[in-house]
Each structure stands twice: as structure tokens, then as C-alpha cells.
Structure 1
Amino acid sequence: MTWGWRKLLAIRNMVRPFIWKSIGSGSETNAWSDIWCDLGPLRKFITPRIIANAGFHLQSSLADIVSPNGQWRWPIAWYNLFPVLINLIPPSIRENVRDRLVWKDLEGNTCHFTSWEVWNSIRIHDNKVNWVNMVWFKQCIPKHSFHIWLVIRNKLKTQDRLSVWEAGSETNLKLMCCPLCCFDRDSRDHLFFECSFAAQVWNNVRTMTNMEHVNGEWSDIMTWMEQNVSLKKPDNVISRLVVAAASYFVWQERNNRLFTRRQRTALVVAQEIITTVRMRILNFKFKRRFEKRSLMEKWKIPSSNMEIEPD
């Protein structure tokens, strides 16, 4: 059995409550094991022995337990044994109409089956954060957005987190220092962008955005992001791209120095950030009424990227 199939089988119990049978003739629906009513599979509370004693078998279809006049065929005594059956109304049996599988979402609505719908139904749901549109947006660079999501959640394997896990010997932990500035342990707030090296990078790239007034403290950057979360202007989009790219390449430089001993100057890292963001911007189309032409000049955006508006 392949890895993929093993993973699919492992989530059977999570997926099963959302797969229902839409009843037609009832002949293709197992009366006890399929989900066709709000009670779920009847085998949850009706045992195989009780089913057999009533004259049915485990393979009985729904059509087998509903009489032609639309009444249940199971014993009256079942209503005393299982009171939940009292309010269970027999489904309308339609001859020559096939039963079919349907997907029901979290609200109980029948919907078209898609992998997205499955994921949305089985994933862990939480309250929507106010910075979501600053990380995930149409023009984003996916790997940068994923990285800054880790940064915001403080999930990067920085030295301050490793020390909490007590990874390595006590001596090695005491020798830890930021690979970029060689001063103190690195942490999320230190790397973005209080570290002297990272601060140089940030100061070089923030002049290319509308964030000149935002210093290198992560709390100030988060405040700016939350205040501008609903803005979709090109200068705002560019600023989001720069923040994500800056955090991505600073982290990349940190890892290069830590694991490969390769080093670049802050100016080289800043230039790579600008080049990467510019390549993304070249795919944009700007309205001719866009006022901040100085921003376009900074990023060397050609006039061909100006969209002609209809009269």
C-alpha cells in the first residue's frame, strides 16, 4: 500500500461524518452503516445481535427496512430500547432513482465535492486574525508569505526558542550568538530588524516603500501592517512585498552564515530584496491615474506597465 493511500485511510474517521447518502430508491444505501439521517450510522447504537434478532442482516438496504406504505419495518420494541428512533421519519422512497453520495459542509449544507471543501471541513478552525490580508494577498510571493507567517507566529527555530527546549549542552547554549551581528542570541524581534546587520538591510529597503517612518522594531512593523490591512493601493502592496522579502532574505543570510559560513554584506542582501520585489512588480498593471509616480521611478517601472483606462 502506498504512502498516499495510508494517509487517506488514516483520516477516514475525520472525513466520514461529511459523506452522506442522498436517498432515491434506497436500495444502494446500507441501512445500518451509511449516513443518511441526522442520527448518523444506526450501528452506533444498534448492535449486530439486535439487528439479527429482528430478522434483518448487516447488509440490509434502506429499502429493506421501509414498507411500501412508508412505515418502518423494525419491531415496535425498538422505540423503548432506542428512544431516538421515535422522531426518525422514514425517507421518501423513489423508485428508479439511484441513491448517490453527497458532501455536507460544517453547516450541514449539501455542496459540490472539492478537495478545498474537504480541507475546509476537516481543518482546525480559529478566529480570523487581523493581519491575514497583509500576509496572503493576490500579488504575494508565496514562499515569502509562508515565511512571514512563521515570523508573525514566532515559529522560526531561533536561538532563544532552542534554549527553552534545552537543545544541546549547556556550554553550547552559552556560546550562542546572532550569526549576523555576533552579539546576544538571535530571536524573532532581534532578527527583524533590531540586529545591527538586519537594521542596515531594513534601512536600505524601506526607502523604496511608503514605510520610511517605520523603524526596525517588529512591534512597529506589526502596528503598520494592522493599520494598513484594508488598503489595496499599489504602494501598499509593494510595502507588503518588501517586508516579506526582507524577513525572508535576512533569515536566509542568517542560515547561510550559521551552516555554510558564506557571508554577504547588508548592501548585497538589500539589493537582492529590491531586485526580487522589482521582478514581481513588473507583472503589475498600474492605473494611469496612479499618483505616486515617484514610487514607479524608484523601482524603474517602465511606462508599458501603465494600463490604459477606458474613456
Structure 2
Amino acid sequence: MPKEKGGLGLRGLEIWNKAAMSKHLWSLCSDFASSLWVSWTRCYLLRGRSIWELKCPGDCSWSWRKILGFRDIGRDKMKIRIGNGRRASLWYDNWHPLGPLEKILGERIIRESKLSRLAKVADIMEGDTWRWPSVRSLALSDLMRDTLNTFRPDSNREDVLYAFILWLAIQGGIYTHTKLLRFVEDLDHLFFACPFSERVWNALHAKCNLPWVQWSWLEILSWMEQFRGRSMSSIVIRLMFAASELGFI
């Protein structure tokens, strides 16, 4: 429920879950992500394959199954602007204006093209023009006909994964300075400003013999620095602080 209506202003878990899965997909598709999880997943789960072509195994973890199940939504948001075609998957990435070729042409055309499933867009490029595979297919003929003459590769630049950032910006999901400040304000409301939080703090401060001052979240964190010691009072205050914050969530 929004804060102006008396709620805590928290976002729905379903939205946060979709955002988290989108971030995982983006990390696996991006050349700039280098976390331990991304490296492990690419090595042991993808094994050189595209995330879009994997079948969902029956014995995979719950989280991996959810990420794979989110691909149809995620791929629509992750468009690639073609440059030299060296990083974009020919069949599975969303680089063509009409969509992923695997969805448009189907498995038979992929087999008859004599191109690998790991083929890149560069494999059908000749300089800055297209060199489509010689396959007798109405679907491929329609694709070649519907591809605008203005849509051409550019061998002098890199492929760019771009649309996901635009989608985040439209959804308000990019953590700008203003958004981070608003996040701190949400913590202030959650932990201190709402009536329930204030009652809890009053009771805890009375039991710990501490004066109640309605500070902000950042001020409270700074104030807690003095209780890093091993004395009984410092330990009790730290436990009180941790238990109270957990209870508000």
C-alpha cells in the first residue's frame, strides 16, 4: 500500500522477482558482467550455448528453472543493435527487426542452412551486406523480402545490447542519485516514521534505558558505531537494533 494511504510503500514481491530474473538474464547476455555466478553459469550450465536455446532440465534447481521460464519475456526486452555481428547469436538473439530468427524460421531451416546453432550474425555478413543461406524456404524468402534495405550491418562497430536499459528507464528501475535518495527515504519511513515502528522503538529504548530521538536511517547507523565494543551494554544494544529492524520487514 502507498505511504500516502498509510502503508509502508513497499513494492510487490512479484515485480521485484521479475526485476531480479531480468537482471540475471542481462548479466548472462552482457559482455560486461563478470561476477562469480555469471562465470560459473556460463562454464557449467551454458557451456558455450546461448541462454535462449537451452531446454529446461527436469533436475535443475528451482531458481534456474524460474530464470529459464522467464526468457520469453526477457528476450523481448533485450534487443541487439548489429555492428560487425561477432557477438550476436544468429538464430537466438533478438537482433533482427522482426524478432529472433529461431522463432520466425523454425528448426527445419536451422538444420537445412548448414550453419551451426552457435553461428553468429557475422556468418551471414559480407562486408556491410547480408549473405543469407541458400535454403528453399517460403519463410526465409519472406524474411529477406521484409528486411528493409536500410537495415544493414556495420563492420566498423561492435554489436550493442541496448533495449533493456531503455526498458529499465521507462519502468523507473535505474538507480540514479534521485532514486537512491528516495530509497533512503523509504527506509526512514519503514524503520522510524510509521506509527508501529515508533511504538516499537519507544518500548525498546525504555527497556534499554536509552533516550528516544527520531533520527534518519543514516543518522542511526552513524550513532550505532559507538556500540562496536564487547561490553554487555554494547552487545545488548546491537542485538536490540538488529531484532527491531528484522521485525519491521
Structure 2-normalised TM-score?
Answer: 0.41
Structure number, greater radius of gyration? 1
Structure 1-normalised TM-score?
Answer: 0.35
